[in-house]
Amino acid sequence: MEDTQAVAALVERCLGGDAAAWEEIVRLYHRRIYNVSYRFAGTAEDAEDLTQEVFIKMYRTLKSYDVSKGALVTWVTTVARNLLVDNFRRRKHDRMTDSLESAPAGHQDALTLGEQLPDLGPSPDAGVHTQQTQRAVHQALQKLSPELREAVILRDLQELEYREIAQVLRVPEGTVKSRINRGRAELARHLSRTYRQVS
Amino acid sequence: MYGEHPGGMDCTQFEALLSEALDGALSQPLLAGFRAHAAACADCGPLLAGAQAGMSWLKSLAEVEPPRNLVLNILIATSGAGAAASLRQASPTSSWRDRLRQWTRPLAPAFSAVLQPRFALSLGMAFFSITVLLNAAGLHLSSLRAADLRPSAIQENLTRAYNETTARALKYYENIRLVYEIESRVREFRNATREEDQQEQRKKELEKPRDRKYRDDNTSGNPDRKQDRYSRQNEPVVLAGTWLDDSVYTIPEGRAA
């Protein structure tokens, strides 16, 4: 949790033209924004460009930040998320995957969810720290729809509260929870398929 | 199955509680009903297993390290003012090439055409030409001082360089002229000597054979020559002698000639 008073003072200094204050903001949030961008966009190059764009946008719109409406981290994440989604739409990288409900109906030979989920391949606790596994999870994450992907990234990677995620995504908390559950299950389904193909 | 109520809750309630259940935020009574529903429902049981596995996979992802110069690039792209200070702090171990690349990165699109090999070659040739001209004019960049950049100093230097260059050229021309003149005189002298010899030769050739005989026969004032001539005229020619006798065969004067 960030110190609201300190952040407000920092923003105030920054708006007053203090370059050191702006640098402090950049240092505070660049790692978070880069990670969100990387997990959402998929590549380091895109993540770097997007992170820069996010901060350029922040620099121009910092006046619009209202301390009373929420934490700076939520505002920063909102700016980043909006830019990521805009970028996604602009590039027309439609990597929408089959939703949890439509998957069995979309493929005649696809397994039902009840058949797929028990066979998850290697246990997540066993050897998940290897680079290969990390890459597989990252690739599976790219196969999720943007709605599910952003929800699980914000919850499981950025560890935001449901309330904050709802604020960022501008959807009800119930929708956030539903997307998170579906996103997790979808990811597990992709990974089980991947490991079944490998084995 | 949706619509059934194993564990005292339906599938919608189960899904609503799924996140809290995975977060470990459910109370004991709710958790018991939740587990009972998951065990009995053919849809919700796999959903729980999948969500649990997916969460574990996601939690296993490590945080990625941002590029080293990301902060610096952001500052350059935004405020720009703090870039110089950050350059020393953010990348103290970066090489001068990295720093140069970072500084010139915003200018890269504008100068991309200039950085082509042909432009580089042209720039190199221009630099070489300017260097040669400066050296010829007597200007050395290493010894250039601020005082030399005054207009009066520049004019003075240019005038001096012009006069020195003109004097060198004139001296060179004069030296060349002197050499040519000496060579010309020597050639004339040789030609004159050769003409005298040729005239002498021609004079000898034009003398008559009678005059030559008269000159050979004229022994007046030269007694040795006169004696030699006399001896050759009166002495008989002795050919040879044999070992059988001492007789010597002589050939009469008339036949010996």
Instruction: Give the chain B residue whose CA is nearest to the CA of A47.
Output: B66
Contacts of A195 in chain B (CB under 8 A): none
- pLDDT exceeds 50 at position B254: yes
Q: Distance (Å) from the C-alpha of residue A20 to the closest C-alpha of chain B?
A: 7
Supply A90's token pair. 């602009």
Give the pLDDT confidence of A68-123 residue by residue, as tens digits: 888 889 999 999 999 998 888 887 655 554 444 444 444 444 444 444 444 444 54
pLDDT confidence tier of residue B208, bands split at 50, 70 and 90: low
Supply B103's token pair. 């500084």
Cβ–Cβ gap A26/B58 under 8 Å: no
Residue to mutate among A33, A117, A178, with most B CBs inside 10 A, is: A117
Could you say which of B43, B57, B75 has the minimum Cβ distance to residue A137? B57
User: What's the pLDDT at A188?
Assistant: 94
Give the pLDDT confidence of A118-177 residue by residue, as tens digits: 444 454 445 545 788 889 999 999 999 999 999 999 999 999 999 999 999 999 999 999
| Residue spans per domain, chain B | 6-60, 70-112, 145-207
Cβ–Cβ gap B79/A23 under 8 Å: yes
User: Greater confidence, A125 or A187?
Assistant: A187
Domains of chain A, first to last: 4-91 (1.10.1740.10), 103-198 (1.10.10.10)
What's this model's pTM, rounded to 2 decimal places?
Answer: 0.54
User: What's the pLDDT at A80?
Assistant: 93
In contact, A72 and A12? CB cutoff 8 Å? no
User: What's the pLDDT at B256?
Assistant: 46
Angle among Cα B229, B234, B235 to the nearest 5 degrees reads 100
* φ/ψ of residue B239, rounded to 5: -90, -65
- Give the C-alpha separation, A53 to A63, whole Å: 17
- Give the C-alpha separation, B7 to B28, whole Å: 13
How many CB pairs below 8 Å do chains A and B form together?
143
In contact, A29 and A37? CB cutoff 8 Å? no
Write out the DSSP string of B43-70: THHHHHHHHHHHHHHHHHPPPPPPPTTH
Question: If you average pLDDT over every residue of chain B, what do you get?
Answer: 78
- pLDDT exceeds 80 at position B84: no
Cβ–Cβ gap B50/A185 under 8 Å: yes
Give the pLDDT confidence of B161-192 residue by residue, as tens digits: 888 889 999 899 889 888 999 999 999 999 98
* φ/ψ of residue B182, rounded to 5: -60, -45
B14 Cβ neighbours under 8 A, 6+ residues apart: B7, B34, B37, B38, B41, B44
Cβ–Cβ gap B64/A38 under 8 Å: yes
- Give the C-alpha separation, B211 to A31, whole Å: 128
Instruction: Give the chain B residue whose CA is nearest to the CA of A188.
Output: B54
Could you say which of B18, B60, B81 has the minimum Cβ distance to residue A137? B60
Instruction: Give the chain B residue whose CA is nearest to the CA of A149.
Output: B58
Chain B: residues touching A (Cβ < 8 Å) = 15-16, 18-19, 42-43, 45-47, 49-64, 66-67, 70-71, 73-75, 77-79, 81-82, 86
- Give the C-alpha separation, B99 to A176, whole Å: 44
User: What's the pLDDT at B252?
Assistant: 60
In angstroms and rounded to an integer, the radius of gyration of the C-alpha atoms of chain B is 61
pLDDT confidence tier of residue B250, bands split at 50, 70 and 90: low
User: Greater confidence, A179 or B151?
Assistant: A179
Cβ–Cβ gap A186/B54 under 8 Å: yes
